[in-house]
Amino acid sequence: MTVIGIEEIFLQVKDMERALDFYHGIIGIPIDKQDGERTYLQMGRGHIVLQIVGHTGRHQGGGPMHFALTVEEDDFDAILTRFEGGRHFTRGPYGERGQGRALFMIDPDGNEAEVNTRYIHGVPTRT
């Protein structure tokens, strides 16, 4: 099995403008989408989501950190088989083979780990 790379990292931030100054202004990661609680910063093969502390949106139960790892379709199937009925909480899988799938798991420390195949099918479109 090979993990291709990190697809996404959700970071809680206290001050969105200061976080954007650092990640966008200094490091230079382009802004893809922004709303009142989060900003998506798109890299060539992955993204960072800056999410304001106390948000009402995605990954509420995701623990102190949420991250996603990109894997190939066959590796996704193998991981799914190992975690079905396992001791780790899961949600998903979501999506269809060949179009991008995702499986969410809670690690032993309460972090939300996701494996998905989205980036092998192109950069995801955010609506």
Give the tens place of pLDDT for each residue, 46-77: 888 888 888 776 655 456 678 888 889 998 99
Preceding omega of 124 cis (within 30 degrees of 0):
no
> Is residue 24 helix, strand or coil?
helix
Sign (positive or negative) of CA dihedral 49, 31, 17, 28: positive
Q: Which residue has the tokens 């949106």?
A: 57
pLDDT tens-place string over residues 5-53: 888 888 888 889 988 988 898 878 999 999 888 899 998 878 888 888 8
Nearest one of 61, 69, 50, 75 to 8, comparing CA atoms: 69
Helices (H), the chain: 16-20, 73-83
- Residue count (the chain): 127
For residue 122, give both structure tokens. Answer: 């192109």
For the stretch 99-117, pLDDT in tens is: 999 988 887 667 788 888 9
What is the pLDDT, as a whole number, of residue 120?
86
Which domains, and CATH codes, for the chain?
3-121 (3.10.180.10)
